[in-house]
Amino acid sequence: MTKLRISIVQYLNTAPLVWGFTNGPLQGKYDLSFTVPSECAEDLRAGRADVAIIPAIEYQRIPGLAILPDMAIASKHQVRSLLIVAKKPIEQVKTFALDSSSRSTQVLTRILCAEKWRIAPEFSEAVPDLPEMLDNADAALIIGDPALRISLGIAKDGWPGAPGQTVCQAATLGFTGSELLYVSDVVGEWRRLTQLPAVLAVWALGRELAAPELTADFLASRDFGLAHLGEISYEAAQDLELPEQALEAYLRDNIDFSLDAENRRGLELYFEHAAKLGLIGKAKAIQWAPAKSAAVKL
């Protein structure tokens, strides 16, 4: 039998979800590939993958999908790896470069601009290179490990600005075209707007493939990952050349790997806002893949 193909986000935040597949008892069972979130969605849409972790908004844009229950890349209060970096206070921003690896957070950013900051900047997409983005726009959205690296840098050298913002010298982030940069955490801003968490990514697959045994493998892989956060952080610290303790704190405190009731409410409200702004059609209800009644422990 050929192995199911799984398309996986290459950032650290997804490592716990797949640790059972990459470093645990389910190693070798599936055919794994790693890329940025926007490409994971394209892999599923184009049939290059059978299962993918997709930006949550893409569930609304790709027909015929089911979502695996109880798991996600979500964040309750502050995420640290989804950042808006602006050359001026956010209310004055007129041009905005959006990380082309992102789909979910691009939409969150547009919602925040329209409904929180009441600005209507001109948006463009760009590869995640902060100095280049800020050479061409007043503000930039950057996601994933490159954003986490920025967060860890400004934790040392920045200072608090307006509520939820950090201000730093532009030079701290390797940018010379302005004196100060204003950094906002996208989940922090979303939480202040809605009092709810943000769900960034979900496991999705074609409905015909959804089966309790498959859901059970993904849940078991996630639980195996959560039991090995120390090991995951140790390995990531070597790869990313970032401090192990800070990476472990990020995985424990900033990322939430569940789809609990509060996260599901956050996700539904997000779909409603996106539909209201015309970024998706009318939001469709979530079709869940079936699960076994009791979790399996690896």
Ligand X SMILES: C=C(O[C@@H]1C=C(C(=O)O)C=C[C@H]1O)C(=O)O
Find tokens 């001026």 and name the residue: 88
How many alpha carbons fall within 13 Å on the CB side of residue 3?
12
Rounded Cα gap, residues 257 and 254, in angstroms? 10
CB closer to ligand X out of 102 and 215: 102
CB closer to ligand X out of 105 and 165: 105
Q: Within a 10 A sphere around the Cβ of 116, how many other Cβ atoms?
A: 15
CB of 52 to ligand X, least distance (A): 11
CB closer to ligand X out of 180 and 237: 237
From first CA to last CA, the distance across the chain in angstroms is 23
CB of 98 to ligand X, least distance (A): 9
Rounded Cα gap, residues 147 and 83, in angstroms? 6
Pick from 178, 90, 163: which is nearest to 131 by CA? 178
Rounded Cα gap, residues 297 and 16, in angstroms? 15
How many alpha carbons fall within 13 Å on the CB side of residue 8?
21
Q: Which residues bind ligand X (CB under 6 A)?
A: 9, 11, 13-14, 37, 55, 73, 79, 81-82, 102-105, 143-144, 147, 200-201
CB of 293 to ligand X, least distance (A): 29
- 97 Cβ partners below 8 Å, 6+ apart? 123, 124, 125, 126, 133, 134, 136, 137, 139, 140, 141
CB closer to ligand X out of 168 and 187: 187
CB closer to ligand X out of 180 and 275: 275
Helices 212-226 and 229-240 cross at an angle (nearest 10°) of 70
CB of 13 to ligand X, least distance (A): 5
CB of 200 to ligand X, least distance (A): 4
CB of 287 to ligand X, least distance (A): 20
CB closer to ligand X out of 100 and 178: 100
